[in-house]
Structure 1
């Protein structure tokens, strides 16, 4: 039944239901019980409450999932900008509506069915490909989920699934619609085209004074200087507080000795292993090797290749069988062992390249060890220093005074709200950049601002030293850029006019080859393009769309892939793929339409269900949870 529901994944409601029906262990990691959250309801749908605990858990899980997808931690502010709080609430409201309806309809799930569905879930299959209870329990435990809590949630999911299947499970696509979509998706076109480069319009002279002034006035906003602020700040973090020179050689030596393994590169060997079915065959092979036969030749004699026995360049701990590991790491280079009674049968190993263990001497890593010790000590001192700095600020001390007293440095950056300077270049070394810029542009000169935490466990204190309001840059200041932009626009205008002239010539009966020859260009071809084809070369996405805008023989003009380049294209042929109802080739199209119809039905059903049941949201509790993360 779960496999049946997975096909409903094309629309947003189906995605919501799918997310409810199939637990994604890849994004779990939030404990089953939370503390510090008010036990009031976030929302109520009909007679079903959405507790603050459930919303808090779902919201944290979604933040974690989103962070994994984008490869970096999503901040609460970014989550709000992306609309994640409302998305999570919408998903829980949908879930509650279906739960309430399941209760009203007395929908049940038998114990036998629930056991069967859990046993058949791919997420709980072990190495043998079948349900593994030990793995099931371990997986739940590792993801902060108790077995009882999971079974209850799974039972609720199965009830929602029954409702979803009863509403949309049997929806199918009309033949006429399937045929139309098939023809749209499979239609192919052969295209002939020429690409007009910017060089075809020749050199563009600089504008005169009147042209330049007029263009500047018409596009003044393009050169408007954004508001910039001079931000003075001090950063307190491990790197700023650490004093490696204060660490004695004796302390560094002690730390080195305690963690010598960190500075040790273990011995590696290139190991080959031949596995035999019986000890007699293994002994014969070992005797052959002892008599001087090469390992390659021995393998060839038993019908194997060297690559079949290659275990790679490994350290001793990477070899699973202890007996094999011991033998492989006791042999000299380019030698073979006798018969080893391994865990999986008799084996013979062969060793080639040996790289001995290497240990970095203390003097090589002394500076690194001291820095690590200093950083560790600094992390413990940061909170003490933070309190001291806060006391000094409360007493009216300036950033300069605080920096001097704490051996820190006041730095200044001039930046706009996006972290760029007046020339549009990224400003480097802005700590806690997103939060600092947000707070700095919400502050003003002379205002005390709250400290901002940094990712390394430190803090940033800042003041606004100066504000330069957004303003129009005078023409003289940006004259070179305006001239460049004017020339670029003039080039594009001339190129477009030239492309349209070529189109007109084709419309009057000239061939594309003749037009190309007169322009010193070459006709290029692209065959069997579909609407989903990926454009190549000079042919752009806009040109691909234009190629499907008219019938066979039609001529179109579109921007090329390169800046200012123009494409003049002609549809040489249109190929239609016949539609055969019920054919396997049409199954994806039919399924696509069925999915869309099923999603529409589900969307309408959920919307009406929520309207009938009524939805109320406790905004104060909702905001409390969002703000606490």
Structure 2
């Protein structure tokens, strides 16, 4: 299946438009308009303006990027709360400052270099490779850019690269710094690790008195404190909730079957790769060499500097290729190589990697799956159709209870722990609900929000229930367990310290010698702090390290192994440290340079324009 997926059929026109679509997103063109003819720029650095469209595009791109991390698209208000709108403006100002400096120092990029960059951009490549002039024009048109405007963007980008290279080129981290950091990273320890368990403790099982329990409860109230809870009323509806009320007739299912007939009825296909040659003689010679086991198909691919993805033809049905090619491909009874066959690229060998039989799933067999899909899709569309009415009800002052009475929504309440890492069940399992529930304030106006499955919800924060400490009688068992854990942990650590001081006891204990322990190592079953404490100790030291209520540890630091920075793994670490440190220093220098340019050139930000754009993009302004 993985191989079949990798070699999926490449639809000639579709893949080009998909690539161009991605390019459009990368270049902008989000189509934000309606800002008014008097509003054209939001900021400037020197003579460089940052336009309304540039700012809107950058904001929306940041919304989409950060939204992927949160699992949902952030609202403008959330962007503002996180400071992301300010980060976008800082980035635009820095970019404008660098372009301004490039102009000042007279960096000039020739048309030939601009043309080369554009021709080499794979997003503008045609189906058969090479620059596609028509695709280039189409992509720019969809992005709302003229060729001149886009080429000026490329010119600015190259100038910025040259400026950066001039400023930070040859930047190196100081050797002393690199060596010191490498020694720190690559240094290892030889240690002897001795666990001390409950079996090493004198006495029997721990049984606290009621006075000890009371004292522990009084001294550690936060251990038993209930979390802050949010009492929330919510109205919601999901496709799953109303799908049972959806009536689906046979005609709908048959139409869905016909609409997706390609999923249920597919002709025989092959998964193949095509390697073209200059002439028929070269192709025949290649085939003969492959059949004689003198070379391989993959060797020819590598010799040309190509990859298998370059040759991949995906799934090929008879109708996708000329009859001569189809007859040759489908004459195979098992995977193999056929050819030479005449193609638009010249004589070619085809390597068939898999033969896929025709498939046919009758309507009756697909009916149940179709009913489930059509039902959910219809339910989703019914929810979408009701959204405007729901918004109008809320805008008119309807409560969540009234909203539920007038629509397919149901209303419920939840006491939700905002600090919990568990997702919970029902509505608390949705990222969107948790996000809004976490930031809601008492008195907020309920708004309709979207769930990941196409459902809708609105919520009202009724009360914030402050943390409380229950009476001892209610948490007696928890207090006793916590006392026992803390007491055992302390006693084990004290016992470890006593054994460490007594050579005879230490010699009798079960010990493990560990050599070349690295700073980033993990010792299974031990506390995370153990390795850190080992590397903080000096050679010859013996430590008693706290663990948990099951064991503590005695650690002897037998040797500190200083690495040879010019050999082995340490040399590789040094090279990586040197590169990373150099990149970090270069980035800091260039950031400082950019800020200095911006301050020197002078910059302004039209905050009123910024607020207008944010309001139109869905913010509070």
TM over 0.5: yes
Q: Where in structure 2 are the equivalents of 1:182-201 lying within 5 Å?
A: 182-197=182-197, 200-201=200-201
Q: Secondary structure at the match of 2:386?
A: helix
Q: Answer whether contact 2:231 2:413 (CA < 8 A) is retained.
A: yes
1:574 equivalent to 2:561? Answer: yes
Q: Secondary structure at the match of 1:31?
A: coil
Q: Answer whether contact 2:24 2:139 (CA < 8 A) is retained.
A: no
Shift of residue 504, structure 1, vs aligned partner: 3.8
Q: Distance in 2 between matches of 1:518 and 1:472?
A: 46
2:513 equivalent among 505, 524, 532: 524
Q: Secondary structure at the match of 1:414?
A: strand
Q: Secondary structure at the match of 1:577?
A: coil
Q: Secondary structure at the match of 2:426?
A: coil
Unpaired stretches in structure 1, ≥5 consecutive residues: 1-23, 287-297
Q: Answer whether contact 1:27 1:65 (CA < 8 A) is retained.
A: no
Q: Distance in 2 between matches of 1:560 and 1:154?
A: 59
For 1:501-550, what per-residue CA distance to the aligned partner results, in whole angstroms no more than 9, with x for missing partners? Answer: 34444xxxx4xxx655423x2223132x444x433434665333333334
Q: Distance in 1 between matches of 2:352 and 2:592?
A: 68
Q: Secondary structure at the match of 1:568?
A: strand
Corresponding position of 1:110 = 109
Shift of residue 44, structure 1, vs aligned partner: 4.1
Q: Where in structure 2 are the equivalents of 1:420-431 lying within 5 Å?
A: 426-430=424-428
538 and 417 in structure 1: CA distance in 2 versus 1, 3 angstrom threshold: closer
Corresponding position of 2:529 = 542
Q: Distance in 1 between matches of 2:267 and 2:121?
A: 39
Task: Report the TM-score when normalising by structure 2.
Answer: 0.72
1:622 equivalent to 2:610? Answer: yes
Corresponding position of 2:10 = none
Q: Where in structure 2 are the equivalents of 1:218-617 lying within 5 Å?
A: 218-242=219-243, 246-264=247-265, 267=268, 316-317=316-317, 322=322, 323-329=324-330, 341=341, 343=343, 355-359=357-361, 361-382=362-383, 385-389=386-390, 403=404, 406=407, 408-418=409-419, 426-430=424-428, 432-438=432-438, 441-443=440-442, 449-462=446-459, 468-505=465-502, 510=503, 516-519=506-509, 521-527=510-516, 529-531=517-519, 533-538=520-525, 542-558=529-545, 565-566=552-553, 568-577=555-564, 587-617=575-605
452 and 526 in structure 1: CA distance in 2 versus 1, 3 angstrom threshold: same
Q: Distance in 1 between matches of 2:159 and 2:296?
A: 56
Shift of residue 92, structure 1, vs aligned partner: 1.8
Q: Answer whether contact 1:537 1:561 (CA < 8 A) is retained.
A: no
Corresponding position of 2:12 = none
Q: Secondary structure at the match of 1:429?
A: helix
Q: Answer whether contact 2:79 2:85 (CA < 8 A) is retained.
A: yes
Corresponding position of 2:11 = none
Q: Distance in 2 between matches of 1:124 and 1:185?
A: 42
Q: Answer whether contact 1:267 1:315 (CA < 8 A) is retained.
A: no
Q: Distance in 1 between matches of 2:400 and 2:371?
A: 30
For 1:294-346, what per-residue CA distance to the aligned partner results, in whole angstroms no more than 9, with x for missing partners? Answer: xxxx997666899999999x965399865454455467x67999988464758
Q: Distance in 2 between matches of 1:348 and 1:602?
A: 51
Q: Distance in 2 between matches of 1:280 and 1:615?
A: 64
Q: Distance in 2 between matches of 1:125 and 1:274?
A: 23
Shift of residue 594, structure 1, vs aligned partner: 3.5
For 1:255-299, what per-residue CA distance to the aligned partner results, in whole angstroms no more than 9, with x for missing partners? Answer: 4344333333655679999999979999xx99xxxxxxxxxxx99
278 and 558 in structure 1: CA distance in 2 versus 1, 3 angstrom threshold: farther
1:35 equivalent to 2:33? Answer: yes
195 and 137 in structure 1: CA distance in 2 versus 1, 3 angstrom threshold: farther
Shift of residue 31, structure 1, vs aligned partner: 1.3
Task: Give the stretch that moved more between structures: 339-348 or 408-417.
Answer: 339-348
Shift of residue 380, structure 1, vs aligned partner: 4.7
148 and 601 in structure 1: CA distance in 2 versus 1, 3 angstrom threshold: same
358 and 541 in structure 1: CA distance in 2 versus 1, 3 angstrom threshold: same
Q: Answer whether contact 1:227 1:470 (CA < 8 A) is retained.
A: yes
Task: Give the stretch that moved more between structures: 429-438 or 268-277.
Answer: 268-277
Q: Answer whether contact 1:195 1:566 (CA < 8 A) is retained.
A: yes
Unpaired stretches in structure 2, ≥5 consecutive residues: 1-21, 301-307
1:180 equivalent to 2:180? Answer: yes
For 1:417-476, what per-residue CA distance to the aligned partner results, in whole angstroms no more than 9, with x for missing partners? Answer: 3578xxx8824334641355147x4236xx873333434554324456776554222222
Q: Distance in 2 between matches of 1:102 and 1:308?
A: 47
Corresponding position of 1:75 = 74
Shift of residue 75, structure 1, vs aligned partner: 1.8
Shift of residue 485, structure 1, vs aligned partner: 2.2
Q: Secondary structure at the match of 1:226?
A: coil
Q: Distance in 1 between matches of 2:24 and 2:200?
A: 55
Q: Distance in 1 between matches of 2:474 and 2:584?
A: 56
For 1:81-124, what per-residue CA distance to the aligned partner results, in whole angstroms no more than 9, with x for missing partners? Answer: 55422322222222233334444x34231315743872697767
Corresponding position of 2:304 = none
Q: Distance in 2 between matches of 1:367 and 1:129?
A: 43
117 and 183 in structure 1: CA distance in 2 versus 1, 3 angstrom threshold: farther
Q: Distance in 2 between matches of 1:161 and 1:413?
A: 54
Q: Distance in 1 between matches of 2:163 and 2:399?
A: 65
For 1:61-90, what per-residue CA distance to the aligned partner results, in whole angstroms no more than 9, with x for missing partners? Answer: 23333445x383342365455542232222
